[in-house]
Amino acid sequence: MDIVLIGCGMIGGSMVMDLRHSEEATQVAGIDINEDHLKKSLELNIIDRYAEIEDVIPDAGLVILATPVDVSVELISRILDCTGENTVVMDVGSTKGMICAAVASHRHRQKFVASHPIAGTEDSGPEAAIMGLFKEKIALLCESQRSSENALNRVRDVYSALGSALIEMDAGEHDRHLAYVSHLSHISAFTLGLTVLDIEKNEKHINLLASSGFESTVRLAKSSPEMWGPIFSQNKHDIKTALDEYIRHLTMFRDMIVNDEKDELAAQMLRANDIRRILK
Amino acid sequence: MDIVLIGCGMIGGSMVMDLRHSEEATQVAGIDINEDHLKKSLELNIIDRYAEIEDVIPDAGLVILATPVDVSVELISRILDCTGENTVVMDVGSTKGMICAAVASHRHRQKFVASHPIAGTEDSGPEAAIMGLFKEKIALLCESQRSSENALNRVRDVYSALGSALIEMDAGEHDRHLAYVSHLSHISAFTLGLTVLDIEKNEKHINLLASSGFESTVRLAKSSPEMWGPIFSQNKHDIKTALDEYIRHLTMFRDMIVNDEKDELAAQMLRANDIRRILK
């Protein structure tokens, strides 16, 4: 199957590496506004050549749209406009409401499958792509009733080759859940990093005193602003609700500490410990 | 050297395991109010026998005080009261101000060394003890000018056997830095866990959608309330300052998202990315 990868970053790159390995991919054409990413993707054998949307999409079997989510929303109509009879388009973005809205009334809506593989690292760019990133992970499909059976089957084959299990979810539900379980974690880490950087002007203390605890809590603060800014922006309503709740819990926790409410504080920590059971 | 371990948990247990391995420890007597921890420590060969403070401390070469920090402050005078001529006492707690204040005017102050190894996991109890936990880590010594040269040398030998590098730090400075670089991370994780538990009543979504990102950000929410409650309480002034700053940064971040201040948001995320360089 001839593939067009739009957005040659960590997610798209990892996906194509696995698809090449499983021989789902024959030729891969890469599109990116970042020329360094294109060059690097070519060097790493992620893509076979550079391309332009209008030149390669009509003959492609699969288009993987793996750009930041604002770019995906901008490009999706133009991509669908030039699909050939046999072309299927999938996106892999972390928000689903806006892309589903953007394609809702497109005449080729049925050729598009909205998906979100729940996998990644804090690294970005094609050099961060890794084999097996999606193995034994979950991927979500949204509004699949609006995709054709043919498009769905092709995308199911892709995730099957990657080793991911598929789950259907309403786009609005997706964005609401992800605001809590993923987007909030990223904001929590970004702001933890900023707080510590602002207060510990003497950097050596951060490095010296950071046990593995701080390192793991702040890890996501290393994530790409280009990727995460548009996610926060597109999902701002659900993120606002999540952040308001988080700030409310933090304020409560602070007051319990300051007011020496030791029993209640211990009870809340014990309740938080339940995360151990749930994540098992 | 005959050792008395007071508090047979993860930190004390790991320490003794390494000291036995390096043959620094001959006999180890264990003291704990939790009988299960004593039994388990005996089974795991962490300790050789149970003991009572007054029976074993006079003849001990080293007392390792590894209880929750409120218990350490309660016990330290009673422990110093019954030290023999050759006994050195070290604590390993995550706060240093209150224990240093508690011993300040004790007639055996010089036999005490206040220390804090920067290592640990989110697990607790003797079954969580592991070999090599302190290897290539930092340990902090506070108010070492108030310890005798003999006591300091013994504690230096201990950390040398564990493979930790020692750094001296003022007790007040210690508590202030740790509030930011460690205690804040724990509170950030505890409250992230609570927020997500409270909102995602349907637990299966947490488990399903938790990519490795959420898991690492929330990991410390699994930590022991018995250990962390007293740390938060003893360090509440510095923790209040840290939490106020964290809440301020979160509020700022939320407002930038809600008000579509995209450039400023990207600039702040880019600034947070500096954590990558600093933690390297």
Tokens representing A206 are 């951060």
Tokens representing A115 are 């998906």
Cα A103 to Cα A90, A110, A170: the distances in Å are 12, 9, 15
Give the per-residue pLDDT at A245: 97
Q: How far is B191 from chain A (nearest CA, A)?
A: 6
Residue of A nearest to B247 (CA): A247
pLDDT tier for residue A217 given thresholds of 50, 70 and 90: very high
- All structural domains of chain A, each given as residue ranges with its CATH number in brackets, are 3-169 (3.40.50.720), 174-279 (1.10.3660.10)
Which residue of A217, A224, A263 is the best one to mutate when testing the B interface, meaning the one whose CB has the most B CBs within 10 A?
A: A217
Residue of B nearest to A140 (CA): B209
Q: What element of type H or E holds B174?
A: helix B171-178
Residue A149 pLDDT exceeds 90: yes
B215–A177: do the CB atoms touch at under 8 Å? Answer: no
Tokens representing A195 are 């707080």
Q: What element of type H or E holds A50?
A: strand A49-50
A211–B118: do the CB atoms touch at under 8 Å? Answer: yes
Q: How far is B147 from chain A (nearest CA, A)?
A: 23
Q: How far apart are CA A12 and CA A4, in angstroms?
A: 10
* Chain A to chain B Cβ contacts (< 8 Å): 286
**A239 three-state secondary structure:** helix
Tokens representing B205 are 């979504």
Q: Which residues of A touch B239 (CB under 8 A)?
A: 254, 257
Tens digit of each residue's pLDDT (9 = 90 or more) over A253-266: 999 999 999 999 99
Give the per-residue pLDDT at B27: 96
CB A257 within 8 A of CB A195: no
Residue of B nearest to A175 (CA): B209
CB contact set of A63 (below 8 Å; sequence gap of 6+): A3, A4, A6, A57, A79, A83, A87, A88, A89, A90
Q: How far apart are CA A124 and CA B228, in angstroms?
A: 35
Q: Which residues of B touch A167 (CB under 8 A)?
A: 208
Parallel, antiparallel, or unpaired: how do β-strands B112-117 and B49-50 relate?
unpaired
Tens digit of each residue's pLDDT (9 = 90 or more) over B108-156: 999 999 999 999 999 999 999 999 999 999 999 999 999 999 999 999 9
Tokens representing A245 are 């709740």
Q: How far apart are CA B280 and CA B278, in angstroms?
A: 5
